[in-house]
Amino acid sequence: MLRTPTDETRLRILAWLKEPRAAADGVTADAVAERFSLPRPVAVTHLRLLEATGMLRTSSSAGRVRYHRDDMRIAEVARMFEKGW
């Protein structure tokens, strides 16, 4: 599940979610699809994988799912890889 895609889309999504506005509001699958020129189903797949690994958490606003970084989990995973896991 942690496999990095060759185009690094998931890493780019995580980087975008560090930007102040995206971090504050979260992003929708539609916004990810538009930002990275992806079909919506592909964006949803990336977001769900990041959520399943704990890198993203979700909230709902006006009936729409919004995705947010989970920086504590991201740091935990980074430490595991630094230790050679």
Q: 33 with 41: CB under 8 angstroms?
A: no
CB within 8 A of 78, min separation 6: which ones?
Answer: none
Residue 84: pLDDT over 60: yes
> Domain-by-domain residue ranges, the chain?
7-83
Model confidence band, residue 1 (pLDDT cutoffs 50, 70, 90): very low
pLDDT in the model for residue 43: 96
Query: What's the whole-model pTM score?
Result: 0.84
What is the assigned CATH class of domain 7-83? mainly alpha
Question: 22: closest CA among 30, 11, 13?
Answer: 13
pLDDT in the model for residue 4: 55
The tokens describing 2, both together, are 């942690």
Per-residue pLDDT tens over the stretch 8-39: 899 999 999 999 999 999 999 999 999 999 99
Question: 2: closest CA among 69, 71, 52, 66?
Answer: 52
